[in-house]
Amino acid sequence: MKRALHAEWTKARTVPGTGWLLLAVLTLTVLVSALAAGTADCTAAGCRQDVARTALTGIYVGQAVVAVLAVLTISGEYSSGMIRTTLTAVPRRHVVLTAKALVLTGLVLATGAVTVAGCLVTARLLVPISLTDGSVLRAAAGSVLYLALIALLSLGAATAVRDSAAAVAVVLGLLYALPLVAQLVTDQDWQRRLQRVEPMTAGLGVQATVDVGALPLPPWAGLGVLAAWAAAALLGGGLLLRGRDA
């Protein structure tokens, strides 16, 4: 495992696209969050919306870049043919996938922490938000974990389908198309059931700091739904990686 981790870390820091994508996550997320905070409806008496969630709006956009980064972590090797070299150097395929997942998770957690902090500090200049409030800290920590889980979900999907474009389409469809489908459902009970299993809707519930009881699931339970999606994707991708030719 140590050799596999070293190899994956070397790839991550020597491939030019990794740094640019991580920078894009940071820049795009903070920018969108700042724009959202700047348009918040707030007065001296307070705000009419969940300011913490507004301050973290950029996560909706930044997660797409995280998905692309995660997909390229393995699909890029399939497109270049380097996957054969990787699997020759480390024949145990589950070790390869585990090493990729660990390095990717570390990078996204570090970038996510800086990004979320940037969103909240920027928002503090525009809207009244307490950076020491327990619910705000939960929203912040949950958002960082959310990005890491999106990365693992995307890595699993890319391992399963191997093609970059197809994997990105699958992940973005799960994140952005499923909520639209739920909105088209007229039956309120069924709509709520769908919202409970959607990876984005359930997962981003962790950002809520007001009207938490109105969420389809409690904040941490919603993040658990996303974790289940990520685990299922990694398990499925790992089984396919193990059972077929490179």
Residue spans of alpha helices (H) in the chain = 2-14, 16-38, 51-55, 59-80, 82-89, 93-124, 134-161, 164-172, 178-184, 188-197, 199-203, 219-243
Residue among 99, 121, 160, 103 nearest 34 (CA): 121
- For the chain, what's the residue count? 246
The residue-averaged pLDDT of 53-75 equals 94
Residue among 197, 207, 166 nearest 74 (CA): 166
Per-residue pLDDT band for 89 (boundaries 50, 70, 90) equals confident
The CA distance from 167 to 175, in Å, is: 12
Angle at 150 between CA 148 and CA 151, to 5 degrees: 65
* HSE (side-chain half, CA atoms, 13 Å) at 178: 18
| Residue, of 138 and 46, whose pLDDT is higher | 138
pTM of the full structure: 0.93
Contact between 40 and 54 under an 8 Å Cβ cutoff? The reply is: yes
Does position 224 have pLDDT exceeding 60, yes or no? yes
Does position 245 have pLDDT exceeding 70, yes or no? no
Q: Is 246 helix (H, G, I), strand (E, B) or coil?
A: coil
pLDDT tens-digit readout, 30-53? 999 999 888 776 665 566 778 889
Tokens of 210: 């007001």
Per-residue pLDDT band for 209 (boundaries 50, 70, 90) equals confident
Least confident of 74-78, 101-105, 177-181: 74-78
Least confident of 18-32, 99-113, 176-190, 191-205: 176-190
244 sits in the region (left: phi over 0; alpha: psi -120 to 50; else beta) called beta
Question: What local confidence, expressed as pLDDT, does residue 191 receive?
Answer: 85
Q: Which amino acid is at 231?
A: A
Largest CA distance in the chain: 64
